[in-house]
Amino acid sequence: MKKIISIIAVSSFIISLMACGSYFIPQDWYDQTLAYYEEGFGSGWKNERDDLRITDEMKDESIEFGYMLKDLDGDGADELLIGIIDDSDETKFTDIYIWHRDIGAFRIMSGGEGYYMYLCDSDIIREDSWYGSATKTQYMRYDSKDNSFLIVDGGSKPKKCELTSFRSGAR
């Protein structure tokens, strides 16, 4: 009897550890979003949806866009970052998607045309926005527990990131 109780207790403990702080994230959650962008860049955005505003910059065929998957908060789930592929020393990101535990794939940040995000060391996001000639800069860290980006003090210089081009169809 003690052995059965021990097995039940250990099993319950393991199951509770597996569920603790976690939630179901489909392995292919970003595939639909990537397919939308791939089709959009390939068709001149004839597939544009009302719920996903695409900037004029993304419709400019002279600018190459790509993506990367990166676990920004160490929870084991990748976030999807979409940015510009160019020769600059830092990658400009225009869109960041997360898996929101309540509503699924969600574009939590969208930029471009006067609003960009950059990835810095320690996965801190620098956000730059322009209002006329004034630039506002803030630094944020993603927190999956609250499905939010928390404002943090400072950060390092933005870095260059390797993006997979939507034009290459490398996925």
d(CA 119, CA 113): 18
Helix, strand counts (H, E) of the chain? 3, 9
Which tens digit of pLDDT belongs to each residue from 6-39?
333 333 333 333 333 445 667 677 788 899 999 9
DSSP H helices, the chain, are: 2-19, 31-43, 56-59
Contact 113, 131 (CB under 8 A): no
Give the least confident one: 70-74, 79-83, 106-110, 122-126: 106-110
pLDDT at 65: 96
Query: H or E element: which one contains 119?
Result: strand 115-119
- pTM to 2 decimal places: 0.78
Angle at 162 (CA atoms; ends 167, 85), nearest 5 degrees: 50
Cβ contacts of 38 within 8 Å, gap of 6 or more: 166, 169, 171
Residue 144 pLDDT exceeds 60: yes
Residue 119 pLDDT exceeds 70: yes
pLDDT at 101: 67
